[in-house]
Amino acid sequence: GAVVSQHPSRVICKSGTSVKIECRSLDFQATTMFWYRQFPKKSLMLMATSNEGSKATYEQGVEKDKFLINHASLTLSTLTVTSAHPEDSSFYICSAPGESSGNTIYFGEGSWLTVV
Amino acid sequence: GENVEQHPSTLSVQEGDSAVIKCTYSDSASNYFPWYKQELGKRPQLIIDIRSNVGEKKDQRIAVTLNKTAKHFSLHITETQPEDSAVYFCAATLYNTDKLIFGTGTRLQVFP
């Protein structure tokens, strides 16, 4: 079946620095990918829709200048957390719909970000 | 936009009993309703889903029912086992998109 791979699985960064998380569709093309954030013991909150070849669409309340999304190819979307702060520490996870019809949605493994 | 509510937030049952988790959604245009099981630090795992043209779907011990008129759907787990213990999320997809809106989650504990 389709696989979505996310990297890194865990990252620790210092306050004020930026960190990039990659989401790749390994055996299918994804013109659209989605980025979610999940705080401990909370639900997955949609942050933005990543669109190949165009600007990302951000959900209300998500700072587009802080969470930079780039979808430069049909198999890769990146999320860059800029000027990270401890409150940005969270589990970030991406998803991509499969190429066939039917709403099958594949999730990456997720990335734990800790800002110290 | 779509809003999905989920109840209860925690659920404890004895092994062998049934567990029911309920969700309501706000956007009548939503047409796809998956249920996910998530273990700590892992990606959500799809356990069952239902589309808006179906009222009920069953897969062994797991079933989902959908009431489009009332805009609610439920997950039913029968003959629960300790390994069913996890956090379960319902979700709804906005019409003609793959954008999932998740419920708040239910922590299910199955005691031996």
pLDDT in tens, B23-36: 999 999 899 999 99
| Residue A22 sits at the chain B interface (C-beta within 8 Å) | no
CA distance, residue B107 to nearest chain A CA (Å): 9
pLDDT of residue A101: 59
The tens digit of pLDDT for each residue in B43-67 reads: 999 999 998 888 999 999 999 999 9
What is the predicted pLDDT for the residue at A109?
96
Q: Of A17, A51, A58, A38, which is closest to residue A108 (Cα–Cα)?
A: A38
> pLDDT band at B1, cuts 50/70/90?
confident
> Which pLDDT value is given to residue B2?
87
Q: Are B17 and B80 in contact (CB under 8 A)?
A: yes
Looking at residue A27, its pLDDT comes to 87
- pLDDT above 90: residue B84: yes
Q: Which residues contact A60 (CB under 8 A, 6 or more apart)?
A: B1
Render each residue's pLDDT in chain A as its tens digit; 116 residues: 679 999 999 999 999 999 999 999 998 899 999 999 999 999 999 999 999 989 999 999 999 999 999 998 999 999 999 999 999 999 999 999 987 656 689 999 999 999 99
What confidence score (pLDDT) does residue B41 get? Answer: 87
The three-state (H, E, C) secondary structure of A45-102, written as one string: EEEEEEECCCCCEECCCCCCCCEEEEEEECCEEEEEECCCCHHHCEEEEEEEECCCCC
Q: Do A110 and B100 touch (CB under 8 A)?
A: no
Query: How does the average pLDDT of chain B come out, rounded?
Result: 94
CB contact under 8 A, B43 and A46: no
